[in-house]
Structure 1
């Protein structure tokens, strides 16, 4: 029988955050394109992306606080996590406010206020900075990831085997050879 216990290492923040960033970024882009192209269907899609992204933002922030308080880290990682959190909370607040604004003022609207579009474009820039800072926490500081095995050799592709019959770098260097398959013995 299949084991249904799923271990999430270290927590759910990485799962929520990617959906949040994707949906909210697409929302900002669709609002901008909708205002330029004057296409109502773009505004409809933008609103749905914003609303779904806003709901996921709540889960992202909750999971982010869980990560902030439970993931092992050193002083430099803590500073990076705090910087990320300090960008994330106002950015989340702006998007949540925009979602409420859109729900109250834009239902069925064929156009959207240029002020709203300007704010969501600015919020999308803040979201990109926040995402960058979150990436720094993980990829520069290694926070929340399992440790790598000890690196042998130069650490590049030449220091290990990829498990294939031939080194894939050697295969790239060699010209393609004719198929050595004997076609006379059987039909295809």
Structure 2
């Protein structure tokens, strides 16, 4: 079986950790490609994208898009106002619309993901706040998109100050949401395979402490409501 990590070990520290240097790297790439073409499409995807193959849900795959797009939207819009560049504000509008679309996809993926990962009581509270903030971000982005589309905010007007203030609040909420998501992963190992045993035990303990029936909480011990 081909192993992407083993077959493509690019040299670091100037190649000091690789006895073959550039020649060894090229040989590894050729071996990788040669073996890759013998795999089935499913195995090919698994070997090319091992991180994606181990994901239990697609929420982590989508979260980066609204963070990047909505943050860039605010930056471009503020600069467009400050420098009086209408084209920058038009560019910011496109970023806002795309960011809103991906925020909606991310929220849906997150709500689905909440039912696929084991977590205990403390993580449950954090996850609830994370969900509520995520829904708030999407709702606010959608409202700003509608206002932008129909209100022609790109033009100078009395609504600009309020719009930029709300956009700033949107990005602040977005950062708080992202921070809680990272906190769950890096502090508690939520959805991390190596930490699943501990999380499963915590989920079962919280389930018993709450005196809840497993039928009410399949898989993780909780129902999540927006």
**Same fold per superposition (TM over 0.5):** yes
In structure 1, the residue matched to 2:48 is none
The one of the two structures with greater contact order (alpha-carbon pairs below 8 A, sep at least 6) is 1
Match of 1:130 in 2: 177
Post-superposition offset of 1:106: 2.2
Given candidates 109, 130, 135, the residue that maps to 1:89 is: 135
TM-score (norm 2): 0.61
TM-score by length of 1: 0.72
Listed as ranges, the matches of 1:90-169 within 5 Å are 90-106=136-152, 109-111=154-156, 113-147=160-194
Larger radius of gyration: 1
Q: Which runs of 5+ in 2 are unaligned?
A: 1-37, 46-52, 196-226
Structure 1 residue 2: Cα displacement: 3.6
Q: Which secondary structure state, in structure 2, belongs to the residue aligned with residue 90 of structure 1?
A: helix
Deviation for aligned residue 1:110: 3.5
For 1:122 and 1:75, the matched residues in 2 are separated by 29
Match of 1:169 in 2: none
Distance of 2:41 and 2:185 partners within structure 1: 28
Aligned pairs, number? 147
- Please say if residues 27 and 50 of structure 1, whose CA atoms lie closer than 8 Å, have aligned partners that are also in contact: yes
Asked whether the equivalents of residues 80 and 133 of structure 1 are also in contact (C-alpha less than 8 Å), the reply is: yes
Alpha-carbon spacing, 1:49–1:69, altered in 2? closer, same or farther (3 Å): same
Q: CA deviation at 1:22?
A: 0.5
Match of 2:55? 9
3-state SS, counterpart of residue 144 of structure 1? coil
> In the TM superposition, what is the alpha-carbon distance from 1:8 to its structure 2 partner?
5.2
The alignment's C-alpha RMSD in Å is: 1.8
Richer in helix (by share): 2
Deviation beyond 4 Å, 4+ runs, structure 1: none
Matching residue of 2:32: none
